[in-house]
Amino acid sequence: MEEKLSFHRSRGVALLVLVLAAFVLLSVLAAVVFGVAMQTSKIENWQADHNDRLRLSYLARSSANTVIEAISDDLASLGASEAHPIDKKTSVKLTEADAVSLDIEITGDASPYLLVKTKASDGKAEPVTVTAQFNAVTKQITGWGGGQ
Amino acid sequence: MKHFGSLFVEVLIAMVVFLVGLMAVASVLMFGLHSVARSGEKLKDEQSLVNEIEEYMASRIFSHTNSPSGANATCISAGKSFDIDGFTVNYSVYRYILPDKPGSRYYIIQREL
Protein backbone atom coordinates (compact mmCIF):
# COMPACT_ATOMS: atom_id res chain seq x y z
CA MET A 1 0.00 0.00 0.00
CA GLU A 2 2.81 2.36 0.95
CA GLU A 3 4.67 1.57 -2.26
CA LYS A 4 1.56 2.29 -4.24
CA LEU A 5 1.13 5.62 -2.46
CA SER A 6 4.78 6.53 -3.08
CA PHE A 7 4.44 5.73 -6.77
CA HIS A 8 1.31 7.79 -6.89
CA ARG A 9 3.15 10.80 -5.44
CA SER A 10 6.02 10.44 -7.95
CA ARG A 11 3.83 10.63 -11.01
CA GLY A 12 5.12 13.19 -13.47
CA VAL A 13 8.72 13.00 -12.24
CA ALA A 14 9.83 11.34 -15.46
CA LEU A 15 8.30 14.15 -17.47
CA LEU A 16 9.86 16.76 -15.22
CA VAL A 17 13.29 15.17 -15.58
CA LEU A 18 12.84 14.97 -19.33
CA VAL A 19 11.83 18.62 -19.59
CA LEU A 20 14.68 19.75 -17.34
CA ALA A 21 17.22 17.68 -19.26
CA ALA A 22 15.91 19.10 -22.51
CA PHE A 23 16.14 22.61 -21.09
CA VAL A 24 19.74 22.08 -19.98
CA LEU A 25 20.68 20.57 -23.36
CA LEU A 26 19.09 23.43 -25.29
CA SER A 27 20.76 25.97 -23.01
CA VAL A 28 24.18 24.39 -23.59
CA LEU A 29 23.65 24.32 -27.35
CA ALA A 30 22.43 27.93 -27.36
CA ALA A 31 25.50 28.98 -25.33
CA VAL A 32 27.79 27.25 -27.84
CA VAL A 33 26.08 28.92 -30.77
CA PHE A 34 26.20 32.28 -29.04
CA GLY A 35 29.91 31.83 -28.27
CA VAL A 36 30.71 30.99 -31.89
CA ALA A 37 28.67 33.96 -33.11
CA MET A 38 30.44 36.34 -30.72
CA GLN A 39 33.88 35.12 -31.75
CA THR A 40 32.99 35.46 -35.44
CA SER A 41 31.65 38.95 -34.83
CA LYS A 42 34.84 39.94 -32.98
CA ILE A 43 37.00 38.66 -35.83
CA GLU A 44 34.84 40.47 -38.40
CA ASN A 45 35.19 43.75 -36.49
CA TRP A 46 38.94 43.36 -36.23
CA GLN A 47 39.12 42.59 -39.95
CA ALA A 48 37.03 45.65 -40.85
CA ASP A 49 39.38 47.92 -38.86
CA HIS A 50 42.40 46.20 -40.39
CA ASN A 51 40.97 46.64 -43.90
CA ASP A 52 40.43 50.37 -43.36
CA ARG A 53 44.05 50.78 -42.26
CA LEU A 54 45.32 48.62 -45.10
CA ARG A 55 43.31 50.68 -47.62
CA LEU A 56 44.97 53.86 -46.35
CA SER A 57 48.36 52.18 -46.25
CA TYR A 58 48.24 51.22 -49.95
CA LEU A 59 47.23 54.73 -50.93
CA ALA A 60 50.02 56.27 -48.83
CA ARG A 61 52.65 53.86 -50.16
CA SER A 62 51.59 54.09 -53.79
CA SER A 63 51.40 57.89 -53.66
CA ALA A 64 54.91 58.08 -52.17
CA ASN A 65 56.14 55.85 -54.98
CA THR A 66 54.23 57.95 -57.56
CA VAL A 67 55.95 61.11 -56.35
CA ILE A 68 59.35 59.42 -56.34
CA GLU A 69 58.88 58.19 -59.92
CA ALA A 70 58.09 61.75 -60.98
CA ILE A 71 61.14 63.10 -59.12
CA SER A 72 63.31 60.37 -60.60
CA ASP A 73 62.32 61.40 -64.14
CA ASP A 74 62.55 65.14 -63.60
CA LEU A 75 64.77 65.98 -60.68
CA ALA A 76 65.76 69.36 -62.10
CA SER A 77 62.16 70.69 -61.95
CA LEU A 78 62.09 70.11 -58.25
CA GLY A 79 64.83 72.71 -57.75
CA ALA A 80 66.48 71.02 -54.80
CA SER A 81 70.18 71.47 -54.18
CA GLU A 82 72.61 71.52 -51.32
CA ALA A 83 72.37 75.30 -51.26
CA HIS A 84 68.57 75.26 -51.53
CA PRO A 85 66.93 72.49 -49.57
CA ILE A 86 63.26 72.19 -50.34
CA ASP A 87 60.13 71.68 -48.29
CA LYS A 88 57.20 71.28 -50.66
CA LYS A 89 53.73 70.27 -49.54
CA THR A 90 50.32 69.64 -50.99
CA SER A 91 47.01 68.02 -50.16
CA VAL A 92 45.00 65.91 -52.57
CA LYS A 93 41.45 64.67 -52.12
CA LEU A 94 40.76 61.41 -53.94
CA THR A 95 36.98 61.59 -54.30
CA GLU A 96 36.90 58.41 -56.38
CA ALA A 97 38.76 56.46 -53.67
CA ASP A 98 36.32 56.77 -50.76
CA ALA A 99 37.21 60.48 -50.42
CA VAL A 100 40.62 59.71 -48.94
CA SER A 101 42.83 62.76 -48.36
CA LEU A 102 46.54 62.60 -49.10
CA ASP A 103 49.02 65.00 -47.54
CA ILE A 104 52.26 64.87 -49.48
CA GLU A 105 55.53 66.48 -48.45
CA ILE A 106 58.95 66.49 -50.12
CA THR A 107 61.91 67.62 -48.07
CA GLY A 108 65.67 67.56 -48.42
CA ASP A 109 68.51 68.87 -50.53
CA ALA A 110 68.96 65.97 -52.97
CA SER A 111 72.58 65.67 -51.88
CA PRO A 112 71.95 62.84 -52.20
CA TYR A 113 68.74 62.26 -50.26
CA LEU A 114 65.18 63.48 -50.47
CA LEU A 115 62.45 62.45 -48.10
CA VAL A 116 58.90 61.92 -49.38
CA LYS A 117 56.28 61.74 -46.67
CA THR A 118 52.65 60.90 -47.39
CA LYS A 119 49.73 60.73 -45.00
CA ALA A 120 46.45 59.08 -46.01
CA SER A 121 43.31 59.77 -43.97
CA ASP A 122 39.63 59.13 -44.49
CA GLY A 123 38.20 60.68 -41.33
CA LYS A 124 37.20 57.27 -39.94
CA ALA A 125 40.25 55.08 -39.40
CA GLU A 126 43.50 56.26 -37.86
CA PRO A 127 45.59 58.04 -40.55
CA VAL A 128 48.51 56.14 -42.06
CA THR A 129 51.82 57.92 -42.66
CA VAL A 130 54.55 56.55 -44.90
CA THR A 131 58.03 57.95 -45.49
CA ALA A 132 60.32 57.00 -48.33
CA GLN A 133 63.95 58.02 -48.57
CA PHE A 134 65.09 58.60 -52.13
CA ASN A 135 68.70 58.74 -53.27
CA ALA A 136 68.83 61.39 -55.99
CA VAL A 137 72.20 60.16 -57.28
CA THR A 138 71.44 56.46 -57.67
CA LYS A 139 67.73 57.24 -58.26
CA GLN A 140 66.66 54.50 -55.94
CA ILE A 141 64.53 54.28 -52.85
CA THR A 142 66.86 53.52 -49.97
CA GLY A 143 64.37 53.16 -47.17
CA TRP A 144 60.72 52.94 -46.24
CA GLY A 145 59.19 53.89 -42.95
CA GLY A 146 55.74 53.84 -41.39
CA GLY A 147 52.89 52.03 -43.02
CA GLN A 148 50.28 50.07 -41.15
CA MET B 1 -12.01 10.09 -12.58
CA LYS B 2 -9.17 8.27 -14.23
CA HIS B 3 -7.52 9.37 -17.52
CA PHE B 4 -5.84 6.36 -19.03
CA GLY B 5 -2.86 7.23 -21.23
CA SER B 6 -2.65 10.86 -20.11
CA LEU B 7 1.03 10.46 -19.09
CA PHE B 8 1.82 9.07 -22.53
CA VAL B 9 0.20 12.07 -24.23
CA GLU B 10 2.08 14.47 -21.95
CA VAL B 11 5.39 12.82 -22.75
CA LEU B 12 4.54 12.85 -26.43
CA ILE B 13 3.76 16.57 -26.36
CA ALA B 14 6.95 17.26 -24.39
CA MET B 15 8.98 15.32 -26.93
CA VAL B 16 7.42 17.21 -29.83
CA VAL B 17 8.17 20.57 -28.13
CA PHE B 18 11.70 19.40 -27.35
CA LEU B 19 12.30 18.22 -30.92
CA VAL B 20 11.03 21.49 -32.39
CA GLY B 21 13.43 23.39 -30.10
CA LEU B 22 16.26 21.04 -30.88
CA MET B 23 15.70 21.41 -34.63
CA ALA B 24 15.67 25.20 -34.28
CA VAL B 25 18.94 25.17 -32.33
CA ALA B 26 20.46 22.67 -34.76
CA SER B 27 19.55 24.84 -37.74
CA VAL B 28 21.05 27.90 -36.02
CA LEU B 29 24.17 25.89 -35.27
CA MET B 30 24.43 24.70 -38.87
CA PHE B 31 23.93 28.23 -40.13
CA GLY B 32 26.66 29.45 -37.77
CA LEU B 33 29.09 26.76 -38.85
CA HIS B 34 28.31 27.43 -42.51
CA SER B 35 28.93 31.15 -41.95
CA VAL B 36 32.25 30.45 -40.27
CA ALA B 37 33.32 28.15 -43.13
CA ARG B 38 32.23 30.74 -45.72
CA SER B 39 34.06 33.45 -43.78
CA GLY B 40 37.23 31.36 -43.99
CA GLU B 41 36.87 31.10 -47.78
CA LYS B 42 36.34 34.84 -48.07
CA LEU B 43 39.36 35.47 -45.88
CA LYS B 44 41.48 33.37 -48.26
CA ASP B 45 40.13 35.30 -51.28
CA GLU B 46 40.90 38.54 -49.53
CA GLN B 47 44.40 37.46 -48.64
CA SER B 48 45.07 36.55 -52.27
CA LEU B 49 43.79 40.00 -53.31
CA VAL B 50 46.17 41.62 -50.82
CA ASN B 51 49.02 39.46 -52.16
CA GLU B 52 48.14 40.63 -55.68
CA ILE B 53 48.48 44.27 -54.59
CA GLU B 54 51.71 43.60 -52.69
CA GLU B 55 53.22 41.91 -55.76
CA TYR B 56 52.21 44.85 -57.93
CA MET B 57 53.65 47.36 -55.45
CA ALA B 58 56.94 45.52 -55.12
CA SER B 59 57.44 45.16 -58.87
CA ARG B 60 56.31 48.74 -59.58
CA ILE B 61 58.87 50.18 -57.17
CA PHE B 62 61.66 48.43 -59.06
CA SER B 63 60.48 48.55 -62.67
CA HIS B 64 58.32 51.75 -62.85
CA THR B 65 56.62 50.19 -65.87
CA ASN B 66 54.00 47.61 -64.92
CA SER B 67 50.37 48.43 -64.20
CA PRO B 68 47.73 46.70 -62.10
CA SER B 69 46.30 43.76 -64.00
CA GLY B 70 43.92 40.88 -63.42
CA ALA B 71 40.20 40.50 -62.99
CA ASN B 72 40.14 42.33 -59.66
CA ALA B 73 41.95 45.49 -60.79
CA THR B 74 40.26 48.38 -62.60
CA CYS B 75 41.39 51.85 -63.54
CA ILE B 76 38.68 54.09 -62.08
CA SER B 77 40.21 57.46 -62.86
CA ALA B 78 42.86 58.49 -65.39
CA GLY B 79 44.55 61.66 -66.55
CA LYS B 80 44.61 63.34 -63.17
CA SER B 81 47.37 65.44 -61.66
CA PHE B 82 48.37 67.24 -58.49
CA ASP B 83 50.81 70.04 -57.97
CA ILE B 84 53.38 70.13 -55.16
CA ASP B 85 54.47 73.79 -55.07
CA GLY B 86 55.08 73.92 -58.83
CA PHE B 87 56.12 70.29 -59.27
CA THR B 88 53.40 68.47 -61.24
CA VAL B 89 52.68 64.78 -60.89
CA ASN B 90 50.30 62.98 -63.26
CA TYR B 91 48.54 59.92 -61.98
CA SER B 92 45.72 57.40 -62.34
CA VAL B 93 43.68 55.72 -59.63
CA TYR B 94 43.20 51.95 -59.66
CA ARG B 95 40.85 49.92 -57.55
CA TYR B 96 41.26 46.32 -56.43
CA ILE B 97 38.00 44.74 -55.33
CA LEU B 98 36.52 41.32 -54.66
CA PRO B 99 33.28 41.06 -56.69
CA ASP B 100 31.34 39.28 -53.94
CA LYS B 101 32.72 41.34 -51.08
CA PRO B 102 32.50 45.06 -51.86
CA GLY B 103 33.89 45.92 -48.41
CA SER B 104 37.23 44.48 -49.52
CA ARG B 105 38.33 47.26 -51.80
CA TYR B 106 41.72 48.87 -52.01
CA TYR B 107 43.03 51.74 -54.07
CA ILE B 108 46.43 52.59 -55.38
CA ILE B 109 47.60 55.56 -57.38
CA GLN B 110 50.11 55.18 -60.17
CA ARG B 111 52.19 57.75 -61.94
CA GLU B 112 51.38 58.43 -65.60
CA LEU B 113 53.65 60.24 -68.05
- The DSSP-derived string for A109-139 is --SSEEEEEEEEE-SSSPPEEEEEEEETTTT
Stretch A8-20: mean pLDDT: 77
For residue A22, the distance in angstroms to the closest alpha carbon of chain B comes to 6
CB distance from A63 to chain B under 8 Å? Answer: yes
Per the CB < 8 Å rule, is B57 touching A62?
yes
Range of the domain at A40: 13-146
B75 pLDDT band, cuts 50/70/90, is very high
CB distance from B69 to chain A under 8 Å? Answer: no
**Is residue A8 assigned to a domain?**
no
**Is residue A4 assigned to a domain?**
no
CB distance from B100 to chain A under 8 Å? Answer: no
**Is residue A54 assigned to a domain?**
yes
Question: CA-CA distances (angstroms) from residue B73 to A3, A117, B76, B108?
Answer: 82, 26, 9, 10
Q: Domain boundaries in chain B?
A: 6-111
**Residue percentage of chain A with pLDDT more than 70:** 93
Per the CB < 8 Å rule, is B32 touching A90?
no
pLDDT at B8: 84
Residue of chain B minimizing CA distance to A104: B84
For residue A6, the distance in angstroms to the closest alpha carbon of chain B comes to 17
Contacts of A106 in chain B (CB under 8 A): 84, 87
The model's pTM: 0.79
Amino acid, single-letter form, for residue A117 = K
pLDDT digits (tens, 9 = 90+) for A90-115: 999 999 898 999 999 999 998 999 99
Q: In whole angstroms, what is the distance from residue A86 CA to residue A105 CA?
A: 10
Q: What is the count of structural domains for chain A?
A: 1
Per the CB < 8 Å rule, is A59 touching B91?
no
Per the CB < 8 Å rule, is B89 touching A66?
yes
CB distance from B33 to chain A under 8 Å? Answer: yes
Contacts of A40 in chain B (CB under 8 A): 32, 35-36, 39
